[in-house]
A and B are shown apart, each in its own frame.
Chain A
Amino acid sequence: EAGVTQFPSHSVIEKGQTVTLRCDPISGHDNLYWYRRVMGKEIKFLLHFVKESKQDESGMPNNRFLAERTGGTYSTLKVQPAELEDSGVYFCASSSQGGSNEQFFGPGTRLTVL
């Protein structure tokens, strides 16, 4: 069974540009989470989808970030326009139905904003 995949693995963009990160969860997992680790600090929760619906987006830093999960399958996280402080590693995780189940993480996307 394929794990959680993320694309791209690395992205380098200039301040003011737009970047879209993609996450493909494990097939059949209804729960999808986005997290971010900035500059070696703690990994912080961004938002949580259940199927195509946003269950909790309390961690989204501001309205420059837009997450979607069309059809309840893969998810995208768009940053527009990117700022320097958006640099970090963005992780995606998925879990099966039932809130207590283990979250499986992808390898992350390293975003560098210059």
Chain B
Amino acid sequence: GDSVTQMEGPVTLSEEAFLTINCTYTATGYPSLFWYVQYPGEGLQLLLKATKADDKGSNKGFEATYRKETTSFHLEKGSVQVSDSAVYFCALSERSGGYNKLIFGAGTRLAVHP
């Protein structure tokens, strides 16, 4: 079945460092791809998404490009802030019966220090 694999954390960075969190997927069809973020004490929030190959999702300085040839959707940010400390989840939507059930990776915890 479809699956998502993302790099294990925790990832610890200094403020203004460059961030990459790797995500690869396995899917039989053409899924939509997502990054969700969970800040401490809060629920999951959609950070960005891409619905077809070569699409780039972006939000709050984060970017990810849907790469069909490498089945990847890596998350990047050029300069992280302390407020970016959170758990990041890569996910894909499996079009099951027309409804977008989400399949998630295990999550990557990011800690940014001043």
Contacts and interface: CB of A to CB of B under 8 A. Distances in A.
B104 A44 contact: yes
A35 B102 contact: yes
A103 B100 contact: yes
Interface string B23-48: 00000000010001000011111100
Contacts, number: 61
Nearest to B8: A40
Chain A CB within 10 A, most for which of B32, B44, B107? B44
Interface size class on chain B is 20 to 34
Given A4-B43, A105-B43, A42 B107 contact: yes
A89 B20 CA distance: 26
Describe B's contact surface by its main secondary structure: strand
Interface in A64-114: 91, 93, 95, 99-103, 105-108
Given A105-B44, A105-B45, A108-B43, A43 B104 contact: yes
Interface of A: 3-4, 31, 33, 35, 37, 40-45, 48, 50, 55-56, 91, 93, 95, 99-103, 105-108
Given A93-B44, A100-B93, 17 more contacts: A35-B102, A40-B107, A42-B4, A43-B89, A43-B102, A45-B101, A50-B99, A55-B99, A56-B96, A56-B97, A99-B98, A99-B99, A99-B100, A103-B100, A105-B36, A106-B43, A108-B43
